[in-house]
């Protein structure tokens, strides 16, 4: 059996958690392969409404082993808090395994994230201030701390000293802060180790063996293709690859094991964070869509910030599906658009030089691009009770078909509400 990757086609917040939650019912493993606690997957089920930040989206099924892979940024405090909160709300304790090769977010990472965003002020990149950029900077500078290093105090102390040496120069001379020492963090990190100890394992071998046995594995990405540091709207990107191609690395499975890539996109556009967003709405038009959208309005699951919203962007989504290698698409939140007489879709960009393009350009061109819209008739009715594609109004079906033709990938799943049973499979 092949591995299925569930990834975002846009800026994040597309509804990946809900889809993973549904598909996890027939899966043995659900794997987080990148990112950390800087984004949330919102899930609504019989236990209630949950925003998961560190835990994989399979935690509501006792049959699923939830794996946090070596490509992730492990926020130990958030991880433990989420496990405790699930149990406090009546969810059976999930099976969670954390890669012994995964690296941990150290409190100094969070502090640096806060200091830098404050320094940048209006020029900031919209960080969630969860320490993610400083974490990955240390990881690739070979200054990070693996979970397996939390049990040897002398080694851990040396690693902390290496990490903090350059940071203290920056703290003092850029931010005007007092220096810190390994003594400030050693006890807390040793405590992290004890908290993680029951969960640590060689997850790479675990997943290889499961794949070779033919067990079902889902790998879920965080954020979306347009936040990828290589292929997205850099520098308004995240700090780890959001693409399905990185899933093999971040999870620790063979690249040829991933046979299905489901790219998730909303029936309109939304994003949290800074950067060019060509089809963005403003004013009352944006506020109405924002309040109607999502399951309780378009507000960030991690930050609570109002999401920026716009009409469906076929240019961005087609590009996102291409770089994700999407084999199929899940279109979420179709029900939200039922209030509109006419529904605009962005089908092209007008660039600063006056040329029109249907290709997704680089950030410097995006910042001056304006949308070219095509309008489709709305259906002006509630569709959240539909359970088959045939039950949808003609206009809703035509909207889905237009999206499908515009992005060049089959729309296999349509969501008409936030609950598990509100997914329509075509």
Q: Which residues are catalytic?
A: 13, 41
CA dist., res. 278 & res. 310, Å (int):
8
CA dist., res. 219 & res. 339, Å (int):
35
Tokens for 362, please give them: 């680089």
Question: Phi and psi of 108, rounded to 5°?
Answer: -65, -30
Coil vs helix vs strand at 141: coil
Give the CB-side neighbour count of residue 231, counting CA atoms within 13 A: 21
Count of C-beta atoms within a 10 Å radius of residue 391:
13
Q: Is residue 64 a contact partner of residue 58, using CB atoms and an 8 Å limit?
A: yes
Helices (H), 152-301: 153-173, 186-196, 203-212, 244-251, 283-292
CA dist., res. 149 & res. 190, Å (int):
9
Count of C-beta atoms within a 10 Å radius of residue 225:
32
Q: Is residue 368 a contact partner of residue 352, using CB atoms and an 8 Å limit?
A: yes
Give the CB-side neighbour count of residue 83, counting CA atoms within 13 A: 15
Query: What separation, in Å, do the N-terminal and C-terminal C-alpha atoms of the chain show?
Result: 22
Count of C-beta atoms within a 10 Å radius of residue 47:
13
Q: Is residue 102 a contact partner of residue 70, using CB atoms and an 8 Å limit?
A: yes
Instruction: Tell me the β-bridge partners of 8.
Output: 224, 264
């Amino acid at each position: 059996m092949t591995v299925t990757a569930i990834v975002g086609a846009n800026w994040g917040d597309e509804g990946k958690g809900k889809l993973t939650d549904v598909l996890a019912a027939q899966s043995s493993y659900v794997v987080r392969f990148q990112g950390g606690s800087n984004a949330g997957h919102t899930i609504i089920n019989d236990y209630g409404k949950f925003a998961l930040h560190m835990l994989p989206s399979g935690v509501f099924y006792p049959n699923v082993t939830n794996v946090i892979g070596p490509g992730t940024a492990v926020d130990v405090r958030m991880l433990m808090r989420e496990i405790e909160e699930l149990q406090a709300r009546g969810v059976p304790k999930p099976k969670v395994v954390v890669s012994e090769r995964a690296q941990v977010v150290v409190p100094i990472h969070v502090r640096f994230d806060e200091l830098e965003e404050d320094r940048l002020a209006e020029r900031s990149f919209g960080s969630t201030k969860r320490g993610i950029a400083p974490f990955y900077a240390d990881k690739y500078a070979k200054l990070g701390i693996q979970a397996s290093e939390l049990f040897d105090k002398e080694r851990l102390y040396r690693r902390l000293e290496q990490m903090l040496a350059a940071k203290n120069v920056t703290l003092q001379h850029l931010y005007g802060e007092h220096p810190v020492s390994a003594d400030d963090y050693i006890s807390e990190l040793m405590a992290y180790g004890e908290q993680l100890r029951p969960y640590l394992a060689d997850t790479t071998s675990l997943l290889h063996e499961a794949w070779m046995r033919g067990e079902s594995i889902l790998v879920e990405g965080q954020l979306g293709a347009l936040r990828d540091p290589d292929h997205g709207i850099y520098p308004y990107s995240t700090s780890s690859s959001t693409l399905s191609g990185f899933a093999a690395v971040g999870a620790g499975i063979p690249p040829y094991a991933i046979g299905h890539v489901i790219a998730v996109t909303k029936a309109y556009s939304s994003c949290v964070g800074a950067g060019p967003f060509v089809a963005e709405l403003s004013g009352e038009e944006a506020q109405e869509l924002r309040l109607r959208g999502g399951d309780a309005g378009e507000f960030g699951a991690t930050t609570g910030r109002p999401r920026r919203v716009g009409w469906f962007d076929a240019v961005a989504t087609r590009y996102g599906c291409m770089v994700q290698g999407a084999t199929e698409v899940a279109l979420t939140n179709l029900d939200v658009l039922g209030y509109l007489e006419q529904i605009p879709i962005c089908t092209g960009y007008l660039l600063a030089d006056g040329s029109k393009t249907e290709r997704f350009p680089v950030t410097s061109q995006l910042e001056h691009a304006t949308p070219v819209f095509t309008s489709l008739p709305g259906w002006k009715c509630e569709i959240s009770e539909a359970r088959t594609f045939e039950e949808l109004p003609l206009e809703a079906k035509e909207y889905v078909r237009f999206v499908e033709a515009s992005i060049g990938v089959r729309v296999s799943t349509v969501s008409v509400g936030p609950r598990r049973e509100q997914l329509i499979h075509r």
